[in-house]
Amino acid sequence: MIRFTLHSTGGQITGFSCSGHAGYAEKGSDIVCAAVSVLTTTCVNALESVAGEKPHVIAKDGQMILKLPKESGHDAQVILRSLWQGMRDLAEEYPPYLVLNES
């Protein structure tokens, strides 16, 4: 199971943490893991290339943590909210494999 937590302070999204493996299918064929990887990686890349943010990212097998170093702008918040929407859609479709939290 993948655990995804969206972090926010005062209505402002400040980052996320994601860990685990979905277990939907064997490694290399797991569409839930692939979807989560695409969503999180695209978010990181868009924060840098579209929003001009420099997030602190830790990524290793089965784990990604992203923290924005300061209050982020409108574009960064839109990107992070889009990530959250994608995760909610995915969790709704594959509930036993992805658990969402907010903190």
Q: What is the pLDDT of residues 38-56, one digit of tens each?
A: 999 999 999 999 999 999 9
Domain ranges of the chain: 2-102
Q: Does residue 21 sit in helix, strand or coil?
A: coil
Q: Is the pLDDT of residue 57 over 90?
A: yes
**3.30.70.1490, 3.40.50.720, 1.20.140.10, 3.90.420.10: which CATH number matches 2-102?**
3.30.70.1490
Residue 85 CA to residue 64 CA, distance in Å, equals: 18
Res. 2 pLDDT band, cuts 50 70 90? very high
Q: What is the pLDDT of residues 88-97, one digit of tens each?
A: 999 999 999 9
